A = this chain, B = another copy of it.
Amino acid sequence: MRSAFYISDGTAITSEVFGNALLSLFPTKFEHHTISFIETTEKALLTKARINKASSRGGKPALVFHTFVNNEVREIIESCDAILYNFLEPFVAPLEKELSIKAKPKTHRTHSMHEKSYDYRIDAVNYALTNDDGSNVTNYEEADVILVGVSRSGKTPSALYLALQYGIKAANYPFTDDDMEELTIPNFLKPFHKKLFGLTIDAQRLIDIRDGRMANSKYSSARQCRMEVREVEKLYKNEKIPFINTTKLSVEEITAKILAETGLQRYKY
Contacts and interface: CB of A to CB of B under 8 A. Distances in A.
Interface of A: 11-14, 16-18, 20-28, 32, 34-37, 63, 67, 83, 85, 87-88, 90-92, 94-95, 98-99, 101, 103-106, 108-114, 118, 121-122, 125-126, 129, 132, 156-157, 160-161, 164, 248-253, 256-257, 259-260, 266, 269
Contacts of A13: 17, 252, 256
A24 B11 CA distance: 14
A11 B156 CA distance: 20
A101 B28 contact: yes
Q: Give me the 8 closest cross-chain CB pairs, A-B, nearest first.
A: A11-B256, A111-B252, A25-B103, A90-B90, A14-B21, A21-B110, A113-B250, A32-B269
B87 A18 contact: yes
Given A16-B269, A103-B26, A260 B110 contact: no
A22 B266 contact: no
A94 to B, nearest CB: 7
A105 B24 CA distance: 8
Given A24-B109, A111-B252, A259-B36, A157 B103 contact: no
Contacts of A157: 121-122, 125, 164
A60 to B, nearest CB: 9
A256 B12 contact: yes
